[in-house]
Copies of this chain bind each other. A is one copy, B any other.
């Protein structure tokens, strides 16, 4: 046996016992002829002192990050000497034997403080980067959250089913990762973007409550809140439920998770409900951050007769004008330029603004506005002295999108939010259909969600006014979960597919197993999926999702430590019956 205790376990209770500790040297200091070693393991830190005047043992050379084994006798400190800053501060230790198990080269970057190196270098030596307490905490927290989550659902009779990781390419949704099949030449498996069809088939079978912390795979370009290659979702499907039943499970889970694992987090907005249209209208986003105000204020009709021709023409064009108040802020020219840049990035032609400075109204458009216009603005936005009001006049989509993004830009640039605040917002009534780029009607989300009030809704000739039983929950501006009630009636499914010009043949071809399964008595059912990594990222205050994985992929979807992806031998490709195409060969030849 290498060790009898971990660092964390040593307290005054072990006094006068002989113990063996193993772990890493955190720090060595020599002072007054004595040696002080902080020994670190995953559980804690124990300080060891060696006084050559008292102990005659052979003491090898010990440096930071060495792994040592020390046999000691634990001595309780006198009350006056207790170090209350350390969990193990009530004890001291007499060495009986010290052995260096393995040595360590000098680390390429500091692990005690914030890293003094690039992300690439950190990820290249992730096994060292992980020695930093912050990252260790993330990984330990992830483990706790996995255990907590699984037990919560198991306790409620959910069945943990591992759905296949090798499945078939899905015709809807994002790009698939493909795996060539050696045994079936020319054919490919796809890794599942989510286990959707399998979990619906579980319902047809008779598992009434399914859950899994499911690996999902989408070949999308990396983003700060989206990890390359794989990510995980808490995946559920339930039979005999309506959407409020689903929602109550979601709320129950979050309301038990957060106080248990992150008790310092405060839910300041508890599951506010907004219709999809309201969210876009008021916050320019379908995942609004409700930790702060700054709603978008509708002002189109207020400027129908404005002296400012840009506004007047906008109204005449049946376009939209919205305002947003920036409280306690008079913009400098430079600041105004930066905000303008931001709305232009999102398609607006420009940003208008007025500042309510002292007694005067200032800003480039102030002179075009009548006193009545100013009064209306004040009345609608509740602007006071010291505030600025920002305007965008454009098509409805551009106004909402650009002001929505500007709102987030201002949050990130000017506001100081309490990082422990959590604001949840529930988005309802997603439209079932949308127009695609060519103006053709297509499904907006998942074609398998049921139509809201379907008996009536399907008669509505305005297809864009048909809604689905599809819901989202956002937290602090991140989309963290979705749920919906399924359309389990093959007739009704066919009817909605026909509305977008797709017939039974296509359903059978693309969703054959499910369409056939629905002939054998499917129960009514619904689902939700929580972004496990994203929720973890919020609870651990990380701005980049990569930090919540033990071994993350880089911004180029690479594991820079393991050199993945990499080139493979020709015979591996031959076995699989594939080769690189001409374009790729040309790229590689450069």
**Chain A residues within CB distance 8 Å of chain B:** 1-3, 6, 22-24, 40-42, 65-67, 101-105, 107, 125-128, 130-131, 136, 139-140, 142-143, 146-147, 150-151, 154, 159-169, 175-191, 197-198, 201-202, 204-208, 215, 217, 219, 221, 228-230, 232, 239-242, 245, 488-489, 512-513, 516-517, 519-524, 549-551, 553, 556-559, 561-568, 572-581, 583-585, 587-588
For the complex, what is the distance from the CA of A489 to the CA of B469, rounded to whole Å? Answer: 59
Question: Cβ of A587 and Cβ of B206 under 8 Å apart?
Answer: no
Give every chain B residue within 8 A of A128 (Cβ-Cβ).
Answer: 205, 520
Top 6 nearest A-B pairs (CB, nearest first) are: A104-B521, A577-B584, A2-B240, A168-B564, A166-B229, A187-B565
User: Beyond A168-B564, A562-B168, is A105–B520 a contact (Cβ under 8 Å)?
Assistant: yes
For the complex, what is the distance from the CA of A151 to the CA of B230, rounded to whole Å? Answer: 25
Give every chain B residue within 8 A of A565 (Cβ-Cβ).
Answer: 166, 168, 179, 181, 184, 187-189
In the assembled complex, 29 residue pairs joining A and B whose CB atoms fall closer than 8 Å, in A order, are: A1-B242, A2-B240, A41-B206, A67-B522, A67-B523, A102-B489, A104-B521, A125-B517, A127-B520, A136-B205, A143-B160, A162-B232, A163-B550, A164-B549, A165-B215, A166-B565, A168-B562, A175-B182, A179-B179, A180-B180, A185-B588, A186-B585, A186-B588, A188-B566, A189-B564, A189-B565, A573-B581, A577-B581, A579-B581
Question: Cβ of A164 and Cβ of B559 under 8 Å apart?
Answer: yes
For the complex, what is the distance from the CA of A189 to the CA of B557, rounded to whole Å? Answer: 10
Give every chain B residue within 8 A of A513 (Cβ-Cβ).
Answer: 127, 561-563
Question: Cβ of B206 and Cβ of A191 under 8 Å apart?
Answer: no
A3 to chain B, nearest CB (A): 5
Give every chain B residue within 8 A of A139 (Cβ-Cβ).
Answer: 159, 161, 207
Given contacts A24-B521, A143-B159, A163-B550, 6 further A-B pairs with CB under 8 A are A2-B241, A127-B517, A127-B520, A164-B229, A167-B559, A573-B581
The answer, among B161, B232, B240, B587, for a CB contact under 8 Å with A3, is: B240
Question: Cβ of B191 and Cβ of A179 under 8 Å apart?
Answer: yes
User: Beyond A41-B208, A147-B154, is A584–B185 a contact (Cβ under 8 Å)?
Assistant: yes
Question: Cβ of B578 and Cβ of A579 under 8 Å apart?
Answer: yes
Chain B residue nearest in CB terms to A588:
B186
For the complex, what is the distance from the CA of A174 to the CA of B443, rounded to whole Å? Answer: 43
Chain B residue nearest in CB terms to A103:
B521
For the complex, what is the distance from the CA of A557 to the CA of B577, rounded to whole Å? Answer: 16
The answer, among B221, B520, B573, for a CB contact under 8 Å with A65, is: B520
A546 to chain B, nearest CB (A): 12
A381 to chain B, nearest CB (A): 44
The answer, among B154, B522, B558, for a CB contact under 8 Å with A102, is: B522
Question: Cβ of B580 and Cβ of A584 under 8 Å apart?
Answer: no
Question: Cβ of A551 and Cβ of B151 under 8 Å apart?
Answer: no
Question: Cβ of A230 and Cβ of B165 under 8 Å apart?
Answer: yes
For the complex, what is the distance from the CA of A165 to the CA of B553, rounded to whole Å? Answer: 11
Give every chain B residue within 8 A of A181 (Cβ-Cβ).
Answer: 557, 565
Question: Cβ of A136 and Cβ of B179 under 8 Å apart?
Answer: no
A204 to chain B, nearest CB (A): 5
Question: Cβ of B104 and Cβ of A564 under 8 Å apart?
Answer: no
Give every chain B residue within 8 A of A41 (Cβ-Cβ).
Answer: 206, 208
Chain B residue nearest in CB terms to A580:
B186
Question: Cβ of B102 and Cβ of A488 under 8 Å apart?
Answer: yes
* Most chain B beta-carbon contacts within 10 A, residue among A107, A166, A228: A166
Question: Cβ of A187 and Cβ of B102 under 8 Å apart?
Answer: no
Question: Cβ of A584 and Cβ of B519 under 8 Å apart?
Answer: no
Question: Cβ of B161 and Cβ of A206 under 8 Å apart?
Answer: no
A25 to chain B, nearest CB (A): 8
User: Beyond A41-B208, A67-B523, is A201–B127 a contact (Cβ under 8 Å)?
Assistant: yes
Give every chain B residue within 8 A of A125 (Cβ-Cβ).
Answer: 516-517
Question: Cβ of B102 and Cβ of A190 under 8 Å apart?
Answer: no
User: Beyond A127-B204, A519-B104, A521-B103, is A147–B164 a contact (Cβ under 8 Å)?
Assistant: no
